[in-house]
Amino acid sequence: MSGIKSSLTVAGGVSAQLSQAASGFLSVNEVTSRAERTTVNGNNNAKNSLASIHSRGQRVSNAIARDGNNIHSVAQEFSIIDQKIKKSFELPLFSPTLGGGKRE
């Protein structure tokens, strides 16, 4: 039976990948500004559609970035807890300070 395994390194990698994905959604803004350079029929419709896509992309981007940050934050918390648990197991069982005393 395997237990829960946490890895700050893996979480950091996932968070970085999610940040890159979030940045990709924001690149739609560049296309929106290009739609203003032409004056053909349907340009306004295209511009409005691209603006809508950009707005939705920003919301998705923000959600992805937020979730990536949350994943990393939780992994950091787990890492701190893991270190505390590890330290508690490293304490000596019989120590003069813990009442183990001296054997004779």
Between 102 and 22, the more confident residue is 22
pLDDT tens digits, residue range 4-30?
Answer: 566 788 888 888 888 888 887 777 665
Sorted by sequence, the CB contacts under 8 Å of residue 67 that are 6+ apart come out as 18
Q: Which helix (H) or strand (E) is 53 found in, with range?
A: helix 43-90
pLDDT, residue 33, reads 57
Q: Retrieve residue 42's tokens.
A: 């349907």
Most confident of 15-19, 44-48, 96-100: 15-19
Q: Is the pLDDT of residue 65 over 60?
A: yes
Q: Which helix (H) or strand (E) is 42 found in, with range?
A: none
Q: pLDDT grade, residue 40 (50/70/90)?
A: confident
Q: Is the pLDDT of residue 82 over 60?
A: yes
| Averaged pLDDT of the chain | 76
